[in-house]
Amino acid sequence: MKRSILIGAATALALSTVLVPAQAAQQTAQASEYVVLYKEGADAGAAKQAIQAAGGTVLAENTAVGLATISTANTDFARAVQESGAVEGVAHNRSIGSAPARAAATGAARKAIERRAVEKAGHGAKAGTDFGRPSAKAEPLSNLQWDLKQMNATAEGSYRHEQGDPGVLVGILDTGVDGSHPDIAPNFNRKLSRNFTVDIPVDANGAEVDGPCEAEADRSCNDAADVDENDHGTHVASSIAAPINKLGIAGVAPKVSIVNLRAGQDSGYFFLQPSVDALTYAGDVGVDVVNMSYYIDPWLFNCTDNPADSPADRAEQATVIKATQRALNYAHAKGVTLVSAAGNGATDYTKTIIDASSPDFASVPGEEPYERTIPPSCVSLPSEGEHVIAVSSTGISKRKAYYSDYGNGYVTVAAPGGDVYDTPGNTRDLSRATLAAYPKSLAEERGELNPDGSPKPTATHLVRDCQRGVCAYYAYSQGTSMASPRAAGVAALIVSKYGKRDRRHGGKTLSPDVVERVLTGTANATACPNPPAYTYTRNLPDGSTVTATHTCEGNRARNGFYGYGIVDALRAVR
């Protein structure tokens, strides 16, 4: 997994993003990492001089945004560097030191993905619904893709008019993409794919994050740009662009190209510098659409004046907001349509809520999540950034999924992301989740396969399809993480259908504002439930029942559950 992918000299000179390998600097056991945001328009040289004067060493620098990750043993670094007129903000990133002999197994490493892909594994559940046989023109597992039928991305629907242009590039900002998967490989752009992050064995409290580097196949924490050791990014990529190849499934835009822009670690954490680097790189190389099914750690919501936060935490969150928005602005100006998952917290982002999950990563010893009151002025990023299309999730009945975040003015559009309790009896049916590609290497590593390669009876989330001697694996998952790429796939079809030739990068290009207008203008307007206070009932496998009421505000044209409506691939291209 961990082979370094380096930007070639000619490419590096052509890009405004300059990356310095983290291994380039010597780190002491007491060292810490910070991210430093330069003042907009300030001289980068002056900012770097200030960093050096405060005892810091630059590990990575993004010149497009003016953001640097630095290492320092100076415990007073933040205050010292902030005094420079060239520095806008500074945030603690993580502690650096040798891992303890036994990392505390708190399970924190798994929280990052669990909060994004609710009940994604589905162990113990069964796929109880038979959706019939696939049509003669469809892929073998298309009968399991109720989600694409909901948005008319089928052989009888949008595929007849537009399947996507190979010159249209979709960037997957995620945990990685398995470029060898048979239902991804034909559309995988290996040349442009990059890894922007390095896995972290443990956090500052000694809790395991990504685990020991030596436990990896290549004994390194640097991942190649064609692997996914989590499975999240692979699901996202194939949802967008699995090809029509008579194997498994097809994506929303089965002929567009996938570019792996790895910004998330194996554990599912996504930090500021990798996210910024991936966004600016996307703009530099001509990526047309990016999917961001995550939020930037360690703060679910970033506030600049929350009384529950220390001055240092407020400054850190302000830095996250400013740096992320600069990167989003940069990518948008370069022609990148920005699509993001709305979140899986089952909360209305336009109301005051309580969050007890942040900070979810310990960058200093003793740091733990604490409860905060979150007003609407606080923002979750990237979904609440400017120019970003925020996508909520629907179930098979088209109801908003029980876990999906919402809010009138927050949600742009909705897309199918699955709801395993969207059933007549409110009982769990895994087939009401969404099906997409799953790395074989993970199925083997996790002990999910029999000796003959078939999924074990306990691996109820897995489906295998074999055609002409080639076998591939697929898994059921649900979440706004799954809804977002389906909307991103429609955005890619829009660029393919209406885009103009990109004279600089080749392929096609289309203004992100135009893409958004077509996407929202062709979505199927969906009214709030009647009454608008909708109560979800879930009869859990353990025999208990859970209820929750979500109130939809707005009108049919735009509301808090569906935004401008449920995306429709056929209407978008016809």
Quickly state the pLDDT bin for 217 (edges 50, 70, 90).
Answer: low
86 and 159 both lie in a single domain:
no
One domain, residues 70 and 25: yes
> pLDDT at position 158, please?
98
539 part of a folded domain: no
Query: Does 85 fall in a domain?
Result: yes
**Together in a domain, 394 and 460:** yes
Measured in degrees and rounded to the nearest 5, phi and psi for residue 496 equal -60, -40
Q: In the chain, how many H helices and how many E strands?
A: 12, 20
Question: For 357-394, how does the pLDDT look when each residue is reduced to its tens digit (9 = 90+)?
Answer: 999 999 988 999 999 999 999 999 999 999 999 999 99
3-state DSSP helix/strand/coil percent for the chain, to nearest 5?
25, 20, 55
Nearest to 336 by CA among 487, 187, 492, 193: 492
Q: Are 557 and 408 in contact (CB under 8 A)?
A: no
Please check the confidence at residue 526 and state whether its pLDDT lies above 80: yes
- Whose CA is closest to 362, among 111, 6, 39? 111
Same domain, 81 and 212: no
Using CA atoms, how far apart are residues 319 and 314, in angstroms rounded to an integer? 9
**Do 365 and 29 meet the contact criterion of CB atoms below 8 Å apart?**
no
What tokens were used for 528?
């709030």
46 residue type, one letter: A
Diameter of the chain measured on Cα atoms: 68
Q: Does residue 188 share a domain with residue 91?
A: no
* Least confident among 72-81, 131-140, 174-183, 481-490: 131-140
Task: Give the residue from 373, 359, 379, 374 showing the smallest Cα distance to 92.
Answer: 359
Is the domain of 37 the same as that of 180?
Answer: no
Cβ pair 20, 60 in contact under 8 A: yes
CA distances from 132 to 15, 141, 422, 569 (A): 49, 10, 19, 22
Is residue 311, in this structure, part of any structural domain at all?
yes
Q: Is residue 52 part of a domain?
A: yes
Structural domain includes residue 103:
no
Helices 512-522 & 480-498 angle (0-180, nearest 10): 110
> Is it true that the peptide bond before 512 is cis, omega within 30 degrees of 0?
no
Query: What are the structure tokens assigned to 2, written together?
Result: 């961990």
CATH of the domain at 60: 3.30.70
**pLDDT tens digits, 85-136:** 999 999 988 765 433 332 232 333 333 333 444 444 344 445 556 666 777 7
Name the DSSP letter for residue 280: H
Q: Indicate the pTM of the whole model.
A: 0.91
471 within some domain: yes
| Backbone Cα Rg of the chain | 23
Q: Confidence band (pLDDT; 50, 70, 90) for 215?
A: confident
pLDDT of residue 121: 36
CB atoms within 10 A of CB 274: 24
pLDDT at 414: 99
423 and 469 together in one domain: yes
A 10 A CB-CB count for 28 gives 11
Q: 91 and 145 in one domain?
A: no
Same domain, 133 and 71: no
What does the pLDDT average to over 43-51? 94
Q: What is the 3-state secondary structure (H, E, C) of 455-503?
A: ECCCCCCEEEEEECCEEEEEEEECCHHHHHHHHHHHHHHHHHHHCEECC
> What is the predicted pLDDT for the residue at 20?
35
For Cα atoms 256, 121, 301, give the angle at the middle one, nearest 5 degrees: 75
Q: Which of 501, 522, 543 is the last residue of a domain?
A: 522
Residue 489: closest CA among 565, 573, 372: 573
| Predicted pLDDT of residue 31 | 83
Average pLDDT over residues 30-47: 91
From 3-12, 440-449, 493-502, 533-542, the region with the lowest mean pLDDT? 3-12
8 Å CB contact between 30 and 72: no
Note the pLDDT of residue 116: 41
Q: How far apart are CA 460 and CA 476, in angstroms?
A: 9
- Integer Cα distance of 464 and 474 in angstroms: 6
Q: Per the structure block, which two tokens stand in for 428?
A: 């769990």
Residues composing the chain = 574
CATH of the domain at 328: 3.40.50.200
| Residue 219's pLDDT band (cuts 50, 70, 90) | confident
**Nearest-angstrom CA–CA distance, 346 and 402:** 7
Q: What integer pLDDT is reported at residue 220 of this predicted model?
A: 81
Domain check: are 296 and 335 in the same one?
Answer: yes
100 CB neighbour count, 10 Å cutoff: 12
294 DSSP assignment: S
524 confidence band (pLDDT: 50, 70, 90)? very high
Q: What residues make up the domain containing 248?
A: 124-522
**pLDDT the model gives residue 568:** 98
Beta carbons within 10 angstroms of residue 105's beta carbon: 11
Q: Do 159 and 205 form a contact (C-beta atoms < 8 A)?
A: no
Q: What is the mean pLDDT of residues 59-82?
A: 94
Compute how many other C-beta atoms are within 10 angstroms of the C-beta atom of residue 447: 9
Nearest-angstrom CA–CA distance, 80 and 77: 5
- H-helix or E-strand spanning residue 425: none
List the structure tokens of 493. Answer: 């079809």
The answer on 58 and 189 residing in a single domain is no
Task: Say if residue 25 is in the same domain as residue 77.
Answer: yes
- Higher pLDDT pick, 313 / 11: 313
**Of 48, 79, 95, which residue constitutes the final position of a domain?**
95
User: Could you write out the DSSP letters of every residue in 155-194?
Assistant: TTTGGGT----TT-EEEEEESB--TTSTTTGGGB-TTT-E
What pLDDT does residue 110 have?
Answer: 35
Q: Is the pLDDT of residue 343 over 50?
A: yes
Q: Considering the domain boundaries, does residue 293 fall inside one?
A: yes
Question: What is the spatial distance between Cα 200 and Cα 374, in angstroms, rounded to a whole number?
Answer: 29
> What's the pLDDT at 95?
62
CB of 248 closer than 8 Å to CB of 141: yes
Reply yes or no on whether the pLDDT at 21 is more than 80.
no
Q: What is the pLDDT of residue 97?
A: 45
Would you say 81 and 51 are in contact if contact means Cβ atoms under 8 Å apart? yes
Residue 336 pLDDT exceeds 50: yes
Of 190, 154, 176, 170, residue with least CA distance to 229 = 176
Mean pLDDT calculated for residue range 303-308: 97
DSSP structure string for 201-251: SB-TTSBBSS--GGGSTTS-S---TT-BSSSHHHHHHHHHH---SSSS---
- Residues 6 or more apart whose Cβ sits within 8 Å of residue 338: 290, 292, 328, 331, 332, 382, 385, 387, 388, 389, 512
Cα 574 from Cα 563, distance rounded (Å):
22
Q: Which of 75, 95, 115 is the last residue of a domain?
A: 95
| Model confidence pLDDT, tens digit, residues 410-457 | 999 999 999 999 999 999 999 999 999 999 999 999 999 999 999 999
